[in-house]
Chains A and B, each alone.
Chain A
Amino acid sequence: MTSNSSIAVKFDNVFKSYIIKGFLKNKTTRALNGVSFKVHKKEIVGLFGLNGAGKTTIIKLICGLLTLDSGAVEVFENPINLKSVEYKKLIGYVPELPYFYPFSTAKDTLNFYYSLSSGGFKNNEKSEEVLNLVGLYDRKDDKIKNFSKGMMQRLAIACSLVHDPELLVYDEPTSGLDPISIREIRNIMLGLKEKGKTVILSSHSVSEAEKICDRVIILHKGEIKKIINKEDWADCELEKIFIDTVAYGD
């Protein structure tokens, strides 16, 4: 299912609109307006933009949670559509503010998500391995209702890794976390890159992007305004580029 091509994700002139249902008339809001970009294997790419820029829409399209209006999306050369789901084995996804069933234990939760990707089988060893990776091994038998926000986020990352995917898609992974938890999650993502995984993350934090991203895509009102490589930004300059692009981009 993975290809020899160096491209992990490809967006080609993608348009996406949402229909907002009204009492008498429906309204259409354009979320993506002809978006095209490529993500290479083994790189960390950040999606940046203000609220409503289209970051989450891009992430949902990659994960096959939405349908496109027009254009094409490919993940490891597999075209995305609602009929095919097999390519999803290659993707690990963490939504913004993940929710888990509170009465389940961390290990049972991982076994459940593993079973969905593996065709119904459980793998206790793999679940324990990823719990160890995210630092939750000692809490593996604890109920999730006793977990802090940071622990929930780490558990969500464990869920995204349990089936050993090639591409990791994280939507605001450090949102609302304390500095120590942010650093832990950053280290996990850097560790994943070392293991040869491709990571796409959306974030509001420019300082985070500077520390971990190889490339940054700046989105504004559903359009890509700029794609910047790591070499192109010096220390603390990314924030200036971002503000200039978003504020004066129109």
Chain B
Amino acid sequence: MGIRAIKSISWESAKESLNSKFAYLVFFFIMILIYVAILTGIMAVNDEKKVLSDFFIAVTQISLLVFGVFSSALGVSQDIETKRIYLILSRPVKIYEYVFGRIIGVWLSAFFVLFFINLACFLVFVFKGYFFDLNYFYLTSNLYFKILCISSISMFFACITTSSFTAIGISVMVWFISHFITDIKFAFDKMKGSVHFMKYIIYLFPDFSASPSLYSNFKILIYSFVVVLFSSYFFKKTEI
């Protein structure tokens, strides 16, 4: 039963995320950025390929971050506000099935957004007559793992606070902190006294500062899974 309920909820959740007004806004934003990328590329003259590639990676990062964080935070809190969650949980659905279904739906829709941007990038490269470097796919797939993680964190805070604004705010802060984990660890190691113990708090954050590898992606994946498990646990405790 578990997997099938998760599949039904995640499919519905993905459809909702991609059909929302917010998703249309993100797609519109992506289209503008792609247009800007092409113009910037022309101005770059000799380094056009590199500028285009960098610009597309930046577009992917911003769009996926905004899309992932907002979709996972808004999905749960809207279900609570509209009381639609009662309709779902009055069926033979466990809370962990609901939470996993919701987050997998966000991951699926984020994958669609990633696919859309990669396709646009590929077409621009082909149109301009450049060789499409497969390393670009590698970079964006690493980025996708970070999005899985940050959307799980956003879901976690949406589940425990039932407020989308709080969830979005905290997730964006975690996103920035997680990119400087190595530096923060180094700084804490240099400190002495009671502040020294603060360094253990840093282990609660995902490490996005590590250079992308199969191992670091695996760690991020496990971290995301644990965060979703905790989300289910705390959501069960919350009286909705």
Residues of A within 8 A of B (CB): 18-19, 60, 63-67, 82, 85-89, 91, 93, 95-101, 103-104, 112-113, 115-117, 119-121, 156, 159, 163
A89 contacts which chain B residues (CB < 8 A)?
Answer: 92
**Complex Cα–Cα for A121 and B7 (A):** 10
B12 contacts which chain A residues (CB < 8 A)?
Answer: 101, 112
Interface membership of B204, Cβ < 8 A = no
A88 contacts which chain B residues (CB < 8 A)?
Answer: 90-93
A120 contacts which chain B residues (CB < 8 A)?
Answer: 1, 3-5, 7-8
28 A-B pairs, CB-CB below 8 angstroms?
Answer: A18-B239, A19-B239, A64-B90, A65-B86, A65-B89, A65-B240, A66-B239, A82-B95, A82-B236, A85-B94, A86-B92, A93-B87, A95-B83, A95-B86, A95-B87, A99-B83, A99-B87, A101-B12, A103-B19, A112-B8, A115-B4, A116-B5, A117-B92, A119-B4, A120-B4, A120-B8, A156-B87, A163-B91
B192: min CB distance to chain A, Å: 36
A96 contacts which chain B residues (CB < 8 A)?
Answer: 83
Q: Which 8 A-B pairs have the closest CB atoms?
A: A120-B4, A99-B82, A93-B90, A116-B91, A63-B90, A115-B8, A85-B92, A88-B92
For chain B, the bracket of interface size reads 20 to 34
Instruction: Please count the residue pairs between chain A and chain B whose beta carbons lie under 8 angstroms apart in the complex.
Output: 79
A163 contacts which chain B residues (CB < 8 A)?
Answer: 91
Residue from A82, A93, A116, A117 with most neighbouring chain B CB atoms (10 Å): A116
**Complex Cα–Cα for A101 and B91 (A):** 17
B236 contacts which chain A residues (CB < 8 A)?
Answer: 82
B166: min CB distance to chain A, Å: 14
Q: Which residue of A lies closest to B3 (CB)?
A: A120
**Complex Cα–Cα for A85 and B94 (A):** 7
Specify which of B15, B83, B95 is in contact with A97 (CB 8 Å cutoff).
Answer: B83
Overall SS of chain A's interface: loop
**Complex Cα–Cα for A100 and B95 (A):** 19
B82 contacts which chain A residues (CB < 8 A)?
Answer: 99
A104 contacts which chain B residues (CB < 8 A)?
Answer: 15
B86: min CB distance to chain A, Å: 5
B92 touches A113 (CB 8 A): no
Interface membership of B39, Cβ < 8 A = no
Q: Which residue of A lies closest to B240 (CB)?
A: A65
Interface membership of B191, Cβ < 8 A = no
A85 touches B19 (CB 8 A): no
Interface membership of B219, Cβ < 8 A = no
Interface membership of B84, Cβ < 8 A = yes
B111: min CB distance to chain A, Å: 20
A99 contacts which chain B residues (CB < 8 A)?
Answer: 82-84, 87
Interface membership of B48, Cβ < 8 A = no
B95: min CB distance to chain A, Å: 8
A119 contacts which chain B residues (CB < 8 A)?
Answer: 1, 4-5
B84 contacts which chain A residues (CB < 8 A)?
Answer: 98-101
Q: Which residue of A lies closest to B13 (CB)?
A: A101
Q: Which of B1-49 contact A (CB under 8 A)?
A: 1, 3-5, 7-9, 12, 15-16, 19
